[in-house]
């Protein structure tokens, strides 16, 4: 293998594990994937992880990827992290976590979210200012929970980070985030903002090609392209009034880079040693996992716009890149990492919830049949969309003759229904008419671990009635992060890179007749149960 080959590392730091993809920066060829697990702890709504374990996993996964790829360390030219969104990392004066991180699916902050949603003029005002209404998942609600329940930790915090921010800072030494991940905090706004630390600016300049990191604003290439692409969606600004409401000093927050592909520095000596890479490796600002998946699929300003995606993983999500600013209280009005918007509907209960039903029934996860009369609402960890943070799972319609395979199939149907129900709202948020045949027949891109399962794929086809595109690439978050890293090295647009790499291409499955009977049955149970059984 020629040593002149340029290899970039895309890191997917998810809820359950870290995956590091070694990718040829020119061709997009996936050379190797390194993996390392995470530990998630907590009961009764609590979900926490030790950020130090994320760092250890990142270093282990990167070393494994480089080793398995069979490349010399000096072939690696860039790295970017895509992380699980919303998690709250609080750091002390030594730069280390004060406590385990509160994860996105920690629902203890539901009361704080509800209280916040009624402040500042109510939900409509939150939509106008941040694009989202606070729910338990959002970082603002988690910070408020910490203030109320662990005030000593809140008072001791010298820095507040999202998971990907924390890891990027460990890599390059600079406190920096991007517009996409910042948009999931509910304190990054589109109104009057405040620059971190200064009180006057909105974001940062980042040098390209010098390795000097945040604050230089002298580079070209990625810096100039990203600044030009940044729109109101990626405002690079924190909302002053919201920060005051939260008692959150803006100096605790990272600077907001123009985009996820912005070069923010190079590896620190400690990071280079931990990863076994040269200090010259460029570090990109990185982004959240959903934003990176969009990049991996070729969604964005220079790629596909208004094309819906369904992701089936620990959570279930539906999203699309669009130029229309979303304003739907049922959706998260995220920014994409390239200056477009990324409205997203998210459910807490997806593959893990269905796998739990399979375990309880003693069945293989693929040994499912249509649910028939059985309806399962698999809200085992509360729910986010619909906003039912205290809900438990519900099973109804059982008979003496009900087969276990039908109960498992009903769990698939309930989880898929919950994700797909947000689709019409997503399309409307993109400025489209969901009833328009041209929109109705637009294929869904199906990604995530569930997209590899027959039962998941067939359930989504049956309940949506839409054609599906199942990309051949399995690690789209890591590949999207790799494109951000390549953008930091070369100045190229990461969406243009993944489009050229073909990472979003895959099998096209034709539509089947929509199972409206099952859809209506699940909808009826959800409506009837919501006011009493699911609250």
Q: Among all residues, which ones are annotated catalytic?
A: 289
* Rounded Cα distance, 313 and 14, in Å: 10
* Rounded Cα distance, 274 and 78, in Å: 15
* Rounded Cα distance, 331 and 159, in Å: 28
Question: What sections of 217-342 are H helices per DSSP?
Answer: 222-229, 240-246, 269-275, 289-296
Q: Give how far Cα 497 sits from Cα of 24, 115, 259, 264, 485, Å.
A: 11, 43, 15, 20, 11
| DSSP labels, 157-170 | -SEEE-HHHHHHHH
Structure tokens at 39: 């530990």
* Rounded Cα distance, 33 and 37, in Å: 13
Rounded-to-5 percentages of helix, strand, coil across the chain: 35, 20, 45
Contact yes or no for 368/418 (Cβ under 8 A): no
Structure tokens at 440: 């109705």
Collapsing DSSP states into helix, strand and coil, what is residue 419? helix
**In 3D, which of 452, 429, 438, 185 has the Cα closest to residue 318?**
429
């Amino acid at each position: 293998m020629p040593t002149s080959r340029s290899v970039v590392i895309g890191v997917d730091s998810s809820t359950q594990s870290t995956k590091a993809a070694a990718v040829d920066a020119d061709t997009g060829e996936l050379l190797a994937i390194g993996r390392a697990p995470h530990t998630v702890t907590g009961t009764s709504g609590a979900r926490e992880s030790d950020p130090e374990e994320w760092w250890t996993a990142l270093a282990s996964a990167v070393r494994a990827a480089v080793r398995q790829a069979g490349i010399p360390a000096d072939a690696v030219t860039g790295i970017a992290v895509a992380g699980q969104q919303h998690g709250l990392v609080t750091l002390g004066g030594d730069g280390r976590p004060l406590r385990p991180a509160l994860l996105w699916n920690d629902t203890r902050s539901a009361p704080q979210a509800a209280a916040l949603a009624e402040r500042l003029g109510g939900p409509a005002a939150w939509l106008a200012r941040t694009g989202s209404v606070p729910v338990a998942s959002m970082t603002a609600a988690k910070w408020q929970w910490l203030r109320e329940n662990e005030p000593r930790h809140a008072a001791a915090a010298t820095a507040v980070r999202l998971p990907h921010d924390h890891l990027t800072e460990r890599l390059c030494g600079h406190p920096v985030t991007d517009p996409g991940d910042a948009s999931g905090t509910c304190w990054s706004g589109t109104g009057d903002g405040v620059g971190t630390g200064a009180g006057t600016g909105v974001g940062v300049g980042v040098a390209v090609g010098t390795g000097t990191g945040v604050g230089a604003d002298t580079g070209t290439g990625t810096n100039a392209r990203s600044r030009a692409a940044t729109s109101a969606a990626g405002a690079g600004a924190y909302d002053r009034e919201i920060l005051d409401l939260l008692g959150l000093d803006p100096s605790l927050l990272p600077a907001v880079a123009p985009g996820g592909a912005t070069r923010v520095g190079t590896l620190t000596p400690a990071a280079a040693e931990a990863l076994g890479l040269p200090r010259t490796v460029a570090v990109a600002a990185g982004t959240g996992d959903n934003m990176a998946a969009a990049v991996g699929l070729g969604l964005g300003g220079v790629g596909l716009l208004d094309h819906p995606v369904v992701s089936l993983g620990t959570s279930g999500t539906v999203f699309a890149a669009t130029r229309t600013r979303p304003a739907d209280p049922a959706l998260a009005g995220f920014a994409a990492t390239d200056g477009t918007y990324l409205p997203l509907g998210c459910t807490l209960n997806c593959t893990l919830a269905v796998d739990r039903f399979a375990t309880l029934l003693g069945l293989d996860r693929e040994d499912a049949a249509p649910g028939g009369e059985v309806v399962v609402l698999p809200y085992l960890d509360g729910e986010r969309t619909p906003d039912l943070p205290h809900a438990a799972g519900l099973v109804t319609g059982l008979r003496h003759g009900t087969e276990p395979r039908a109960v498992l199939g009903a769990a698939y149907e309930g989880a898929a229904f919950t994700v797909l129900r947000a689709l019409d709202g997503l399309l409307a948020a993109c400025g489209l008419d969901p009833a328009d045949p041209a929109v109705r027949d637009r294929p869904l891109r199906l990604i995530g671990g569930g997209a590899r399962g027959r039962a998941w794929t067939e359930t989504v086809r049956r309940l949506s009635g839409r054609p599906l595109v199942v990309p051949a690439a399995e690690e789209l978050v890591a590949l999207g992060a790799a494109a951000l890293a390549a953008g930091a090295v070369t100045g190229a647009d990461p969406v243009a890179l993944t489009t050229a790499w073909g990472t979003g291409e895959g099998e096209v499955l034709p539509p089947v007749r929509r199972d409206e009977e099952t859809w209506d049955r699940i909808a009826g149970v959800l409506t009837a149960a919501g006011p009493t059984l699911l609250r």
